[in-house]
Amino acid sequence: MTIQDILPATGIKVIASATSKKRLFHDLGDMAETCFGLDHTTVVDALMDRESLGPTGVGHGVALPHARLPGLTKVCGLFLRLKKSIDFDAVDRQPIDLAFALFAPQDAGVEHLKALALVSRTLRDENICTKLRANEDPSTIYTILTEMSAAQAA
C-alpha cells in the first residue's frame, strides 16, 4: 500500500479557515463529500466520535483523524495543510498544521491499520513535514507525499 492508493490528487487543500478542531472536521466533511460522495454530517459525526475516544494529534504539528464509515469499499484519505496552526489536544500539547484524515469501511480490519501506519511513518519524517509546510500548491504537496511514500515502499 502507498499513499497513492488512498489519497486522490483532488484530496489535498491548503486552508486558512480552520480555527478549531471542529472547524477542521467540517472542512474534512466538505472535502469527503466532494471527493468520495460521503455525507458531510456523517463524516463530521464519525470524526468527532472517534476523537472522543482519544486525541488523534500525534505530535510535532501532525494530526491523523480517522473514522470508519458506512458505504465505503476501501480506505481513503484527505490531506490538509493549515496556514495557521490550531489547538488539537495533541499528545505533545503543541498545535497542529498538518492533518491527514483516513476513512475506512466499517468492516475494514488490517487495511485500516496498514493505512494508519503508512501515513504515520510518512509524517514522522521531518524532511517530508518541512517540505509540506514550505509549499502551498496542492499538486506539489501531492507529489511530496506520494514520492516519499513510493520511496519508502521500494
Q: What tens digit of pLDDT does each residue of 100-131 get?
A: 999 999 887 788 889 999 999 999 999 999 99
Q: Are 98 and 31 in contact (CB under 8 A)?
A: no
Q: Are 98 and 133 in contact (CB under 8 A)?
A: yes
- How confident is the prediction for the chain on average, in pLDDT? 92
Q: Is the pLDDT of residue 150 over 60?
A: no
For cell 493505512, name the residue. 115
Domains of the chain: 11-153 (3.40.930.10)
Summarize the confidence of residues 78-99 as an average pLDDT.
Answer: 94
pLDDT for 154:
47
Summarize the confidence of residues 33-58 as an average pLDDT.
Answer: 94
CA of 118: how far to CAs of 3, 72, 99, 113, 122, in Å?
A: 8, 19, 14, 9, 6
- 135 Cβ contact partners less than 8 Å away, ≥ 6 residues apart: 81, 141, 144
> Which residues are annotated as catalytic?
66
Give the closest residue to 79 by CA, choosing from 61, 100, 58, 102: 100
Mutual angle of helices 138-153 and 126-133, in 10-degree steps:
170
C-alpha cell recorded at residue 65: 483523524
pLDDT for 128:
95
pLDDT for 151:
57
